[in-house]
């Protein structure tokens, strides 16, 4: 056995890298991590966590809007973006510290600099130092894709949304996925004029079409403008008017104070030195891995967004954990990608697990669909007559649950619990046998006829 500096060197201290480092160390491995930006990665520093806090901050607008009907008089209510932004960023600092402490307490050495691959067992730090390791784990995540149109340099990505100097009065969002719609929801609630430009006529491609249709209807009702089947032709800065002019190919450009590009995230492999170890990429530019997350170089593994399997934090964490258990814990295991629950934190949020109605029909031919289209009690006091929609997709003969999809207040919280039933392979009968908890929104799931 050659003598290496470490048993494991992890490149990237995000969701997947931190979990893999911590668990490998707890299995007795000597572990080091390199992080070029901030410990915690996308989710903690500029993703899930600060995004959800902005969602919470923006939800006050709706509550305050209802308050009058509940008998409350709220005088002088106004919103101050820098206060929310700074509060969120202070909490991100706190979490970054906690992640750093976790690594430290597990004896993981952290190098606060960029690392690249110099060979099958060697990484090169930005400072020039070379370090050897028996295994290398690439967990460098993904980066916002910026399309190629004139003036794209005037646009921003989700990374910058958490640090805006001022709240944009007019926000244009390019894209129709998670990031686009979550930020559209946040800034619409905060009072910005929001326009979404989507290149196709379909939003949130992986979600149930009927649920997405309901989300679109509600978002339009709340004042978000949608331009479907459109691509940005160019963006120019109008110095005199102090704003951006966005050309969608129409007679008049659209005025915006900020243009957010949310057109997908690409694996962060540029300049990583993969060629030095024969690590191959897929056609889509992701690191090619097998079921065990092993790359085409036997001593190098990769987990998380850089492998572009499913770009979600719990998935990166599971992949990192499975890698550590397999390589250092003597418990080889793989990640099960079936039935991953997910949510979009729009207002109201939507969530789903398992097959959509379309997917189920394609796979099984015919299926049974139980649904409830209801007005949540919470919305009775609201000026918006918004309705929730829950759907249960079941196998026609066995009545086994194939998919659960919903939109409405607290949908992600309810769906996380309902996903257990799907994972456990339960049938519709188990839902029918469960006594309703009244009055709640979740009871709709056990009252479906
Ligand atoms: C705005 C936004 C909202 C999101 N919301 C959600 C959500 O609600 N729920 C959810 O499940 N997922 C969400 N995601 C996705 C989630 O953040 C990612 O799937 C997850 O962070 C992937 O983890 P990872 O370990 O693969 O990479 P990351 O967390 O991105 O970590 C990679 C790390 O590697 C570092 N790095 C890169 N290259 C190098 C190098 N050469 N040397 C050293 N360090 C390097 C980076 O600085 C980074 O810290 C969101 C993403 C975004 C952008
Ligand atoms: N709530 C969550 O779990 C959550 C939230 C945010 C992000 N994420 C993760 O991060 C990933 C990235 O998010 P995202 O919203 O950037 O990607 P996405 O894949 O969800 O959506 C990308 C959107 O951009 C559009 N698009 C692609 N190229 C374009 C172009 N050239 N011009 C205009 N539009 C274009 C696509 O049609 C699509 O609507 C997601 O896939 C998701 O896994 C998860």
> What pLDDT was estimated at residue 382?
78
Is the Cβ atom of 33 under 6 angstroms away from ligand 1?
Answer: no
Q: State the ipTM, two decimals.
A: 0.97
- Environment class of residue 208 by beta-carbon count within 10 Å: exposed (0-12), middle (13-18) or buried (19+)? buried
Q: Is 438 noted as a catalytic residue in this protein?
A: yes
Cβ atoms of 133 and 327 closer than 8 Å: no
Cβ atoms of 336 and 314 closer than 8 Å: no
Set out the domains of the chain in order of their start, with CATH numbers.
6-143+266-327 (3.50.50.60), 152-263 (3.50.50.60), 348-446 (3.30.390.30)
> What pLDDT was estimated at residue 62?
87
> What pLDDT was estimated at residue 383?
72
> What pLDDT was estimated at residue 272?
98
Q: Which of 37, 227, 405, 438 is catalytic?
A: 438
> What pLDDT was estimated at residue 234?
97
Cβ atoms of 352 and 207 closer than 8 Å: yes
Nearest residue (by CA) to ligand 1, atom 5, is: 48
Q: How many CB atoms lie within 10 A of CB 94?
A: 9
Is the Cβ atom of 258 under 6 angstroms away from ligand 2?
Answer: no
**Nearest listed ligand to the Cα of residue 180:** 2
Phi, psi of 70 (to 5 degrees): -90, 0
- Environment class of residue 400 by beta-carbon count within 10 Å: exposed (0-12), middle (13-18) or buried (19+)? middle
pLDDT in tens, the chain (449 residues): 569 999 999 999 999 999 999 999 999 999 999 999 999 999 999 999 999 999 999 999 988 988 888 899 999 999 999 999 999 999 999 999 999 999 999 999 999 999 999 999 999 999 999 999 999 999 999 999 999 999 999 999 999 999 999 999 999 999 999 999 999 999 999 999 999 999 999 999 999 999 999 999 999 999 999 999 999 999 999 999 899 999 999 889 999 999 999 999 999 999 999 999 999 999 999 999 999 999 999 999 999 999 999 999 999 999 999 999 999 999 999 999 999 999 999 999 999 999 999 999 999 999 999 999 999 988 887 777 899 999 999 999 999 999 999 999 999 999 999 999 999 999 999 999 999 999 999 999 999 98
Output the CA angle 416-420-424, nearest 5 degrees. Answer: 160
> What pLDDT was estimated at residue 378?
84
Tell which one of 48, 111, 160 to mutate to probe ligand 1, the residue whose CB is within 8 A of the most ligand atoms: 48
CA of 181 to the centre of ligand 2 (A): 9
Tell which one of 42, 163, 302 to mutate to probe ligand 1, the residue whose CB is within 8 A of the most ligand atoms: 42
Secondary structure (H, E, C), 153-187: HHCECHHHHCCCCCCCCEEEEECCCHHHHHHHHHH
CA of 62 to the centre of ligand 1 (A): 30
Which atom of ligand 2 sits closest to the CA of residue 203? 39
Is the Cβ atom of 343 under 6 angstroms away from ligand 2?
Answer: yes
- Look at the pTM and tell me if it is higher than 0.90: yes
> What pLDDT was estimated at residue 18?
98
CA distance 180 to 47: 13
Cβ atoms of 234 and 149 closer than 8 Å: yes
| Residue ranges in 233-356 assigned as alpha helix (H) | 313-327
Q: Hey, what are 320's tokens? A: 């990192």
Helix 313-327 × helix 15-26 angle, to 10°: 30
Nearest residue (by CA) to ligand 2, atom 5, is: 178
> What pLDDT was estimated at residue 348?
95
Give the rounded percent of residues in the chain with a pLDDT score beyond 70: 100
- Residue 75 is given by DSSP the state T
């Amino acid at each position: 056995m050659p003598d290496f500096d470490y048993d494991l060197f992890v490149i990237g201290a995000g969701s997947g890298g931190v979990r893999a480092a911590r668990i490998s160390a707890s299995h007795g491995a000597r572990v080091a991590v390199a992080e070029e930006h901030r410990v915690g990665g996308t989710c903690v520093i500029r993703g899930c966590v600060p995004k959800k806090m902005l969602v919470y901050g923006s939800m006050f607008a709706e509550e305050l809007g209802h308050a009058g009907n509940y008998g409350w008089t709220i005088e002088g209510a106004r919103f101050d973006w820098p206060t929310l932004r700074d509060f969120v960023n202070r909490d991100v600092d706190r979490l970054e510290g906690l992640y750093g402490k976790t690594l430290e307490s597990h004896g993981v050495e952290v190098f606060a600099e960029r690392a690249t691959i110099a060979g099958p067992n060697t990484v090169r730090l930005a400072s020039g130092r070379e370090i050897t390791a028996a295994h290398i784990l690439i967990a460098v995540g993904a980066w916002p894709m910026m399309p190629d149109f004139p003036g794209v340099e005037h646009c921003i990505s989700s990374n910058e949304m958490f640090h805006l100097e001022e709240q944009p009065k007019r926000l244009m969002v390019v894209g129709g996925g998670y990031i686009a719609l979550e930020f559209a929801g946040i800034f619409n609630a905060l009072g910005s004029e929001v326009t979404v430009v989507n290149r196709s006529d379909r939003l949130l491609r992986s979600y149930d079409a009927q649920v997405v249709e309901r989300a679109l209807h509600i978002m339009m009702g709340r004042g978000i403008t949608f331009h479907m089947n459109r691509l940005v032709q160019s963006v120019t800065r109008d110095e005199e008017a102090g704003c951006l002019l966005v050309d969608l190919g129409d007679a008049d450009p659209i005025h915006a104070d900020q243009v957010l590009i949310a057109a997908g995230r690409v694996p962060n492999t540029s300049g990583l030195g993969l060629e030095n170890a024969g690590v191959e990429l897929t056609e889509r530019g992701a690191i090619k891995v097998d079921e065990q997350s092993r790359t085409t170089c036997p001593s190098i593994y990769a987990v998380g967004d850089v492998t572009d399997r499913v770009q979600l934090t719990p998935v990166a964490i599971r992949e990192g954990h499975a890698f550590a258990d397999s390589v250092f814990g003597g418990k080889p295991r793989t990640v099960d990608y079936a039935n991953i629950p997910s949510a979009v934190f729009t207002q109201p949020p939507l969530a789903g697990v398992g097959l959509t109605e379309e997917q189920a029909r394609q796979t099984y031919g015919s299926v049974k669909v139980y649904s409830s289209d209801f007005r949540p009690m919470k919305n009775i006091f609201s000026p918006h007559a918004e309705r929730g929609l829950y759907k249960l997709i079941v196998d026609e003969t066995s009545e086994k649950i194939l998919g659960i999809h919903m939109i409405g207040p607290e949908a992600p919280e309810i769906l996380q619990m309902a996903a257990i039933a799907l994972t456990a392979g339960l049938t519709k009968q188990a839902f029918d046998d469960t006594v309703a908890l009244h009055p709640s929104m979740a009871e709709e799931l056990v009252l479906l006829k």
